[in-house]
Amino acid sequence: MMWLTWRQFRTQAIAAATGLVLMAIVLAVSGVRLSDQFNASGIIGCQAHGSCEQLASNFLSTLKGSGYQVVFLIAVGLIYAVPGLIGLFWGAPLITREIEAGTFRLAWTQSVTRTRWLTIKVGVIGLAAMATAGLLSLMAGWWANPVYAASAKAGPRSTAVNRLEPALFGVSGIAPIGYAAFGFALGLTFGVLIRRTLPAMAATLAVFAGIQVAWPQLIRPHLLTPLRSIVPLDIANITGLMMNPGGDHMVVTASVNKPGAWILTNQSIDAAGHPFTGPATQACLNGGIQACNASVGRLHLRQLVTFQPASRFWTFQWYETAIFLALALALTWYCFWRVSRRRLT
């Protein structure tokens, strides 16, 4: 059974391995140079010079628009795409291909029970899926180490990257392993339910992409209770002043200096603790930024921030990986149940 699984899977396995090797070469060549550039930037040991924030910010701005950014974007795009592609091309056709060609009638009447057939198929291909995503994430993580190190030291107004925020969380650490297992199991399940390759692939794509988009917005922020921070609003940090022409509405936003944190909400509140919505001060209506800022300062506003601190990165990673692995297991169990109850033919 191992032989048949490998014989049927080897083309895809070789394609995946080739992709991994190519990516490894690109990341290794570019990563060594990026690392050299980081070592030369003076960020290490920057306390002695007293300008960590400036050095880190400079380093990050040299990367912007460079080849490194292209490599990073390709790696990020690939890690996002891989779990879905695995569901589409490894998960969905696993059963449907056998049903469409009628070959399940050949495979399941050899001296191997169909439960064992499915166990080995799911085991081999599922592990390959998880290994592919895990290796990609590991390589990209190694490559991006200098970027994250500089980002942790750069100030709030720099082009720092943040791996706890939705854009990068899903392509960092171990979470891609969970997504790959889930994508594979989702494809397998739609294959078992729909029994035809193309519709199963379409359903897998739609549902997986939907979850990938909705999850960071709707579910991840609530996995751990966010922290709240209330500090007096510092007019030096004001980044936005918005008011309507009549001046009865005004919103004030200020930057947050929490390196690596995932900022969920950031708003100004008044002395009573209610969100500040205006009215605008006379100085602001008259124009003149200095006078306006000074008048806002006299309102004694406070800044309320809810956030997930950078220190929770690995907790989130473990939670998310565990959740998606559990979902993958539940889907796989369902597929086994369907197949062993002979609900396919």
Partner 1 sequence: MTVVLESRALSKRYGRRRGLTDCTLSVPAGRVAGLVGPNGAGKTTLLHLAVGLLEPTSGTIDVLGARPAASPEQLARIGFVAQDTPTYAGLTVADHLKLGARMNPGWDVGLARSRIGAIGLDPRQRAGKLSGGQRAQLALTLAIAKRPEFLLLDEPVSSLDPLARREFLQGLMEAVAEQGLSVLISSHLVADLERVCDYLIVLIDSRVQLSGDVDDLLASHRLLTGPLCDMAALPPRWQVVSASHTDRQSTLLIRTADPVHDPAWTVEQISMEDLVLAYMSKAANTPARDRTLEVQR
Give me the residues that bind partner 1 (CB under 8 A), please. Answer: 1-4, 7-8, 101-106, 108-114, 116, 341-342, 345
CB of 115 to partner 1, least distance (A): 10
CA distance 175 to 82: 12
Nearer to partner 1, 113 or 315 (CB): 113
CB of 200 to partner 1, least distance (A): 20
Q: What's the angle, vertex CA 165, arms to CA 142 and CA 47, rounded to 5?
A: 60
CB of 114 to partner 1, least distance (A): 7
Which pair of structure tokens corresponds to residue 10?
Answer: 């080897």
CA distance 252 to 245: 15
Burial class (CB in 10 A: 0-12, 13-18, 19+), 180: buried
CB of 8 to partner 1, least distance (A): 7
* 3-state per-residue secondary structure call for 201-262: HHHHHHHHHHHHHHHHHHCHHHCCCCEEEEEECCHHHEEEEEECCCCCCEEEEECCCCCCCE
CB of 344 to partner 1, least distance (A): 9
CB of 110 to partner 1, least distance (A): 4
Smallest Cα–Cα separation from 89: which of 201, 208, 195, 206? 201
Task: Give first-to-last CA distance, the chain, whole Å.
Answer: 21
Nearer to partner 1, 15 or 322 (CB): 15
What single string gives the DSSP state of each residue in 271-298?
Answer: TTSSBP--PPPHHHHH--HHHHHHHHHT
Q: From the CB of residue 20, how many other CB atoms can be counted at a distance below 10 Å? A: 17
Which pair of structure tokens corresponds to residue 167?
Answer: 């854009």
Q: Which ranges constitute the DSSP H helices of the chain? A: 2-40, 52-63, 67-86, 92-101, 104-107, 114-153, 166-169, 175-194, 197-218, 282-286, 289-297, 313-340
Nearer to partner 1, 108 or 334 (CB): 108
CA distance 14 to 105: 27
Chain Cα centroid distance, residue 308: 15
Nearer to partner 1, 290 or 345 (CB): 345
Nearer to partner 1, 39 or 340 (CB): 340
Nearer to partner 1, 8 or 96 (CB): 8
Nearer to partner 1, 263 or 344 (CB): 344
Nearer to partner 1, 99 or 140 (CB): 99
DSSP for residue 266: E
Q: Could you give the dihedral angle defined by the CA atoms of residues 274, 275, 281 and 284, in that order, rounded to the nearest 10 degrees?
A: 160
CB of 2 to partner 1, least distance (A): 8
CB of 102 to partner 1, least distance (A): 4
Paired residues of 252 in beta bridges:
241
CB of 43 to partner 1, least distance (A): 54
Nearer to partner 1, 100 or 165 (CB): 100
